[in-house]
Amino acid sequence: MNVVMLLYPNMTQLDLTGPFEVFSSVKQFNVHLVWKTLEPVRDTHGLTILPTVTLQQSPQADILFVPGGPGQLALMEDQQILTFLRQQAEGAQYVTSVCTGSLVLAAAGLLSGYRATSHWLSLEQLAYFDVEPVNQRVVVDGNRVTGAGVTSGIDFALTLLGKIRGPEEAKMVQLRMEYDPAPPFVGGSPASAEIELVDRIRTTTQVFQQQRQAVSEKVAKKVRK
C-alpha cells in the first residue's frame, strides 16, 4: 500500500512523525513524503524533513495523510495542494489527518458530511465545512480517519493499522515502539486539565486562533457554494 504523507512549511512535525514511525515499520506499506519540491521542509520549530517525491511524482495513495500545524492556514487556500488532495482522494482507500490537518481536508471538500476530529482549540471550526466535530482522540467514519491534536497521531496510526492489517500486527508495532503512555502529569486534555491552565492556553493562543478561525470561515464559504 502506498502511504502518501503531505509535508509543508510550518507543520507540526510530531503530527507526521508519530504516524510515520508506525507506518514505516510495516513492510507492506511504502511511505512517501510529498511536497512541491525536494527541498528540505522546515517545521514550525525549525526541524527540517526531506520530501521523497514531489506532487507530480507522487504515486496514487492508498492512504492519504495530512498533518496539522500553523502552516495549515496557507494550505487551506493553496489551490495546487487542494487539487492534489482531491485527485488523490478519488483513488485512495483511506483519507486521513491528524490535528488541524482535518481543516485542510475540509477545505478541499473531503470531509463534508463526515464526522471528524481535530486539535481541541480548533475542533469547532470543522462545523463551518458541514463536518460534524467529534471530541475524540481518533474518529473513524467510513474511509475517513482523523486524529485529534499532535500526540494522538500514534493512536490514529495504530487504529488505522489495526483496521487494515488486523489488531495483532498493530499490537506488535505498539509493543516494538514501547507505546505505553504514562504522562508525568494529569491534564493533557481540556477535560482533565485545571481550568486555569485551559484558560491560559486559550489566552496565549487567542490571536492565532482568531486568524485560523477567519481563514476557516472564509474558505468554508467557497467550499459550501
Assess whether pLDDT exceeds 90 at residue 225: no
Q: How far apart are CA 182 and CA 51, in angstroms?
A: 33
Helix (H, G, I), strand (E, B) or coil at 172: helix
Q: Which CATH number fits domain 2-223: 3.30.479.30, 3.30.300.180, 3.40.50.880, 3.30.360.10?
A: 3.40.50.880
Q: Identify the bridge partners of residue 53 per DSSP, sorted by sequence position.
A: 34
The closest of 21, 72, 84 to 44, measured between CA atoms, is: 72
List Cβ neighbours of 112 (8 Å cut-off, separation of 6 or more).
106, 129, 130, 131, 223, 224
Q: Tell if the pTM clears 0.95, that is, is over it.
A: yes
Among 91, 57, 99, 93, CA closest to 75: 99
What confidence tens digit (pLDDT) does each residue in 76-103 have? 999 999 999 999 999 999 999 999 999 9
Q: Position of cell 489527518?
A: 97
- Per residue in 137-152, pLDDT tens? 999 999 999 999 999 9
pLDDT tens digits for range 171-196: 999 999 999 999 999 999 999 999 99
Residue among 49, 73, 99, 105 flagged as catalytic:
99
Dihedral sign computed on CA atoms, order 74, 76, 78, 81 = positive
30 is catalytic: no
- Cα 34 to the center of its chain, rounded Å: 14
Nearest partner of 44 among 21, 75, 5, judged by Cα: 75
pLDDT digits (tens, 9 = 90+) for 155-175: 999 999 999 999 999 999 999
Q: CB neighbours of 186 closer than 8 A, spacing ≥ 6?
A: 192, 193
